[in-house]
Structure 1
Amino acid sequence: MLKKILSIGLLLSLLPAFSQAKILIPAPPELAASAWILMDANTGKVLVEHNADQQLPPASLTKMMTSYIVAAELHNGKIKEQDMVPISVTAWKMGGSKMFVREGTQVPLMDLLRGVVIQSGNDASVALAEYLAGSESAFADVMNQQAQLLGMKNTTFHNATGWPSDGHLTTARDLSLLARALIQDYPEHYDIYAEKYFEYNDIKQPNRNRLLWRDSSVDGLKTGHTEEAGFCLVASAVRNNMRLISVVMGTSSEEARARESQKLLSFGFRYYETGKVYSAGDILKENARVWYGVEDSVNLVVPEDLYLTIPRGSKDQLEAQVVSDEDIEAPLTGGQSLGSLTISFEGEPLLETALVADRSVEEAGIFSRLWDAIKRFFIGIFA
């Protein structure tokens, strides 16, 4: 099918204004850690990375997947916040960080979820795994299936807690994908990650994420530590409607993981910005010709809200291009792809998406179709 490239200048005039001040982007910070990554949560753009695909033990960062699956089951109505979850001997005996549940009792599901997220309770994690899947090993199978669905290509889970196990590995990149999914897929449960304290069984424990006390823009996510993994932290923060996710793995102390994570977040917020460039339904081509239909045109629109992450001050260097189908024939349905939009910076595509019909157009009667065929014939001759 023939394609037509539309004016770039016209499209750029539609982009909202970003900061006009030119800021040179320095080299990203070097961290005292084994691996790290910094991602924009809205666009998925990676701003900084180092050893992001190196497989490493995740320690209690594993519990992010445990809590993600619980949030998904709650969202889908398969379990309820008020469910009373039985505590097995296996869960009660778990070592390491604990919520201090008691064997033989029943605990509200939401208390256990808070125990996982805030207190990093191994006992709470096992209890939830057994409740959802019958056993922790069966739950690990669910975790691995979900990891594949989220694109976590280099991750293998053996348990729900992050307890050391040969081959229980993930990467900084995979954890950033999981963090983004936690934030975007089930926002109704994300607030738990910002809670600083949780008390159960008359034992009040603080959230181990030190950044919650140091930076008011930070609202999550999870810490982890074992001797093999070192001290790890997945953090997220929002400033001026821009949300960043940082993953830092393999630091030397609680203080180091907080400090190195803060370096990444500060770098991203200082030198980059994110803005909505188009809203769902924005028209990028009006009255595209439709042949053989009861209507003779449709508009080409953006199918969903589009965000873009760019270096601060680089708006004037953005280039946008629309390619549209020239031979559009009825019948067609609303939402059908009829073109594409590409926005680039310094020759690198930053965003690519389809443009779709804003409405359906039914096929016209035989005489109208015949008349269109005649017009197309003569247009072809004199083109």
Structure 2
Amino acid sequence: MTLRNFTRTILPLCFGLILCTAGAQADPIETAAREAYIFDINTGAVLLEKNADELMAPASMSKLMTTYMVFERLKEGSLKLDDTLPVSEKAWRKGGSKMFVEVDSRVSISDLLRGIIVQSGNDACIVIAEGLGGSEEAFADAMTARARELGMARSTFRNATGWPEPEHRMTARELGILAEHLIRDFPEYYKIFAEKEFTFSGIKQGNRNPLLYKDNGADGLKTGHTEESGYGLVASAEREGRRLVMVIHGLENASARSRESERLMEWAFREYNNYALFKAGDIVDHARVWLGDKDTVPLTVEKDLTVTLNRQARKSMTVKVVYTEPIPAPILKGTPVAQLMVSGPDMETISVPLVATEDIGQPGLFKRLTSAIDYLVFGPSVN
């Protein structure tokens, strides 16, 4: 048997594209943000990144980690929304944005969460940190440890608020990772991020997320601002089943943050779309078999395959099946025997295993001998 690498460019009829044709590409968008990161949460495709791995002062955007710690305790049942925590003098005195808790009072977890998410209250964060961690410092250490477990290898927390501190750092990419965890892990609590106002102690405050006030599908997450960090936003929006997450940071003022966040989100939804290539179980191709009781084995993907592409660049996409031909029998159903390679402009090549959809056994000795002779003399049969 002579093995050879086999590559076939295929046209998925369910996709309806003409592959391998030239297509215009949209120019990469420019942004005034110092750091930026936009990705599609369903496919993981990165649509924009600018200094996404640079350590930066996240300001109040790091309150998302404080929120995550609370959501996790609620989900595991060790904390309830109507539980209350005491307000220390430290929390009461803390400056910056506040929900205006009163010293020596007790505040419910439900109110504290809204104090953090809607009002960006530093005092609420400290009440949470002291109540759940014993001290803000211990709680910040726990935040860092949990961040590592979530894949945020470079994030370091020195407080629960995002208050300026030289070692309190995150990256735009890791803020995106955190946003995705909040969305995926806690759908029952994530909806709080969409609330536009909250009143506590008779003081009504509006959510600072500018995208919530526009008809664009936005439903989260958190703004941030200090003199060092500039103006930033972690945002998410969903339209027609597509959900994008955006992180921008280092803008000059709140107006610039509002304009740039809307512009970038509109661009990402307009210029890119998700395209379903195959559903789990779809027959992608048939691979030739060596000395099997069948000449070919059908190949499929185990999971639905959807890719995010620029609407223009999709015309230049190629989809190929790659394997070493012929595949020797026996073959067990579900065994990976080939790769589906999807490539195109402005995207990393996607490689997905193709598995056998059925068992392929070996025929009797006589059949194996005659098949081998036929293959050696006449070469592989043509499908």
TM-score range, shorter chain: 0.7 to 0.9
Shift of 1:377: 5.5
Quote the residue 1:114 is aligned against. 114
Quote the residue 1:319 is aligned against. 318
Shift of 1:357: 5.1
RMSD: 3.4
Quote the residue 1:26 is aligned against. 27
2:177 pairs with 1:177: yes
Quote the residue 1:78 is aligned against. 77
Counterpart code for 1:256? A
Q: Separation in 1 of the partners of 2:348 and 2:366?
A: 41
**Secondary structure, aligned partner of 2:213:** helix
Contact 2:81 2:110 in 1 (8 A): yes
Question: Which structure has the greater CA radius of gyration?
Answer: 2
Q: Separation in 1 of the partners of 2:4 and 2:133?
A: 51
Question: Cα distance 1:243–1:378, how it changes in 2: closer, same or farther (>3 A)?
Answer: same
Contact 1:274 1:310 in 2 (8 A): yes
Alignment of 1:274-285 (within 5 A): 274-285=274-285
Question: Cα distance 1:260–1:315, how it changes in 2: closer, same or farther (>3 A)?
Answer: closer
Q: Separation in 1 of the partners of 2:267 and 2:330?
A: 50
Q: Separation in 2 of the partners of 1:27 and 1:6?
A: 31
Q: Separation in 2 of the partners of 1:114 and 1:311?
A: 37
Quote the residue 2:145 is aligned against. 145
Quote the residue 2:378 is aligned against. none
Deviation digits for residues 178-199 of structure 1 (CA, Å, limit 9, x no counterpart)? 2222223332322111110112
2:215 pairs with 1:220: no
Shift of 1:96: 1.8
Q: Separation in 1 of the partners of 2:306 and 2:219?
A: 21
**Secondary structure, aligned partner of 2:199:** strand
Quote the residue 1:272 is aligned against. 272
Q: What TM-score, normalized by structure 1, do the two folds share? A: 0.82
Q: Separation in 1 of the partners of 2:184 and 2:370?
A: 52
Shift of 1:24: 4.4
Contact 1:8 1:320 in 2 (8 A): yes
Q: Separation in 1 of the partners of 2:93 and 2:4?
A: 66
Contact 1:60 1:224 in 2 (8 A): yes
2:304 pairs with 1:301: no
**Secondary structure, aligned partner of 1:268:** helix
Quote the residue 1:262 is aligned against. 262
When structure 1 is superposed on structure 2, of 55-64 and 65-74 the one drifting more is 65-74
Shift of 1:324: 4.8
When structure 1 is superposed on structure 2, of 373-382 and 305-314 the one drifting more is 373-382
Q: Which runs of 5+ in 1 are unaligned?
A: none
Question: Cα distance 1:91–1:381, how it changes in 2: closer, same or farther (>3 A)?
Answer: farther
Quote the residue 1:7 is aligned against. 8
Quote the residue 1:58 is aligned against. 58
| Equivalences, count | 368
Quote the residue 2:136 is aligned against. 136
Question: Cα distance 1:287–1:262, how it changes in 2: closer, same or farther (>3 A)?
Answer: same
Contact 2:209 2:223 in 1 (8 A): yes
